[in-house]
Structure formats: C-alpha cells, structure tokens
Amino acid sequence: MFSGLTPAGHEYYAGHYRGEDYLCLRHAMVEFGGNLGAEPQYVVGMMENLVGTVSEFIEELDSQSEDPPPDASAENFLKSAVRIACTLFVRFLSIHPYRKGNGHAARLIVWAVLLRYGYPPLRFSVDPKPNNPNYDQLIQSYRLDDRSSLESYVIQCIG
C-alpha cells in the first residue's frame, strides 16, 4: 500500500516529520494544491495536538456508540463518524507533516476511523487517491467551511 512513497536514497522520510533533524527534512517546506503545509519547526507540536484531538474525537464516538442518547439514530451516528473522519483528514493535510505520502496517510485516517465503527469506505481508496474529479476541490471547500460536500462524498463511498 505504501511502496514507492519515498524517493530512492531518502527512505528515512518514512515515519519522520518535516522539521526533524534530517538533512532534507529540517527546513523542508511543502506546497500542495496552492496551499502551504505548516512551517517545519511547528510540525511536531501540531502533530502532538492532532493526536490529542484524535483521542478526544474517538472517545466522543465510542461514548455515542456504547451509550447512545435516546433520540440517536444510526444515520446520525454515521454522520458524526464521517464528520470526525473528514475533520481529521483535512487537519492532517493542512499540517502536511511528511515530505511524501501525506495523502495516503490522510486517507488511511479516514479508513481507520470509519472501520472502527463498521463503515468501510470501499470507494475512498488509499492508493491511488480517489478518482472523483472534484476530489481536490472537495478538500479545498472543506477548508473554506463547506463541509457538507466532502462529507456527502465520503458517505457515498461507504459500502
């Protein structure tokens, strides 16, 4: 699934953030779709914050899953799980912590969250990126607070 994500001679990219003390990572800036990732010196701290956010979100979903409120529906739980998966996906991409493979890792986050609750996003591939012609625009729109388009797309990918 992750073969070919690091250039030959740069295998150390795998599992290491931009800003870490490696020659090609220490000061590495990235641009993707006209957006800049976080500045390298902030990546580690931002990822630590994201880990905390992931824990909070998973606890929230686990709680809803184990002890649903009386007015809860399966559809509302699915929407909550997708909302959280998409939020984590876009936050990860905004940080863009790795030199290569950020899209793969971000899509794997969506898979991990949704599979935890029994929603396999089979048509939201990790590799290659989803073939939806509007994929990049869905991410950009999410960043601009149009969350429904990406979330609807991810729901359509479950099955």
Indicate the helix (H) or strand (E) that contains 15: none
Measured between alpha carbons, how far is 11 from 130 in angstroms, rounded to an integer? 25
The pLDDT value recorded for residue 75 is 92
Q: Where are the alpha helices (DSSP H) in 3-159?
A: 40-66, 74-95, 102-116, 135-143, 147-157
CATH fourth-level superfamily of 11-157:
Fido-like domain (1.10.3290.10)
And the tokens for 149?
């388009």
Cα–Cα distance, 125 to 103 (Å, whole number): 11
pTM for this predicted structure: 0.92
Nearest to 95 by CA among 85, 108, 83, 105: 105
Look at residue 40 in the predicted model and tell me its pLDDT.
97
Which one-letter DSSP state was computed for residue 72? -
Neighbours of 3 (CB within 10 A): 6
Report domain extents, the chain: 11-157
Q: Who's near 63: CB < 8 A, 6+ residues apart?
A: none
pLDDT of residue 159: 87
The answer to whether residues 108 and 120 touch, using CB atoms and an 8 Å cutoff, is: no
Q: What pLDDT score was predicted for residue 2?
A: 55
pLDDT 10s digit of each residue in the chain, 159 long?
556 778 888 888 888 999 999 989 999 999 887 888 999 999 999 999 999 999 999 999 999 988 877 777 899 999 999 999 999 999 999 999 999 889 999 999 999 999 999 999 999 999 999 999 999 999 999 999 999 999 999 999 998
